Structure 1
């Protein structure tokens, strides 16, 4: 939990865009790990295994009707609130790093996940391929397309 907790929470947040839901998912992941502890000797790469569990739980939540009903409606409420930002939030919003994070979060999930795993988690193409259970060439293609999409977005705002 000490080694992977923060990283898994950030990964979950990038799928759900809600910190509380991300923490709940990570708790479920660690419960799953505890329940599967007797099978730990058959796992080749623990890191890939725990990331895969996290991604699957995130995707399951996103597909659920609860997520669509509750979270989407919550987004509607946020959009109706006043748009005045506090000075601290305005500073954060204007920072280049925050802007990049927003751009990455705006990508479609198939591109977002490879960007996050490659740049933020510093995983290799082969590890990403194993985690997502897709061909390594597909990982390379998605990574290149994601970079191009980010480049277009960033050039548009400069």
Structure 2
């Protein structure tokens, strides 16, 4: 994610296109880890790119572009999760019962359970406060200091959540190892 600023409108378009190419998929995965719906995650990232486009003139004022754009994605995803419309659609959906059912979907029973798949599911099953620090630290390779900027929390809170998240993840993985096969 390069920080480039030029006055020309075509430069702004090129800058945005570069950001979209370099980070679009990673940001969509980050949003997905919150909302657990790929098309909704794509919508969130599109909103973030519109915000980037609008703030192009102020880009030099941003200390850490990575932290800034991650914060935008996370905040937007949390806003979507809080919205009553999202809750109504998800909770009233007939698909909701399929996703919350303990029985695997027929297609899922055909998919081989690899360790990565189990790990991914276990991470997605964590409460948001633990999931976000695990994802940022391990998947996005953010340092603790970067996470302070992204999440707006103090270092000790992040370290505590990371430690508790690891423990919860370890317990979930042990359960998969014994009961999930």
TM-score, scaled relative to structure 1: 0.92
Structure showing greater Rg: 2
List per-residue Cα deviations over 1:61-101 (Å, max 9, x = no partner). 00001110012223435359985523xx3353511111111
Q: Say how many residue pairs are matched.
A: 156
Q: Which runs of 4+ in 1 moved over 6 A?
A: none
Pick one of 140, 152, 157 that aligns with 2:171: 152
SS in 2 for 1:2: helix
- Label 1:84 to 1:105 Cα distance change in 2 as closer, same or farther (>3 A): closer
2:47 paired with 1:28? yes
C-alpha RMSD over aligned residues: 1.8
Mapped to 1, the partners of 2:38 and 2:92 lie a distance apart of 17
Any stretches of 5+ residues in structure 1 without a counterpart? none
Query: Is it true that 1:100 corresponds to 2:119 in the alignment?
Result: yes
Unaligned runs of 5+ in 2: 1-19
Q: Are the aligned partners of 1:93 and 1:99 in contact in 2 as well (CA < 8 Å)?
A: no
Are 1:12 and 2:19 matched, yes or no? Answer: no
Normalising by structure 2, we get a TM-score of 0.80
Q: In 1, Cα distance between the equivalents of 2:29 and 2:174? A: 26
Residues 98-120 of structure 1 show CA distances to partners (whole Å, capped at 9, x for unaligned) of 11111000100000000000000
2:137 corresponding residue in structure 1: 118
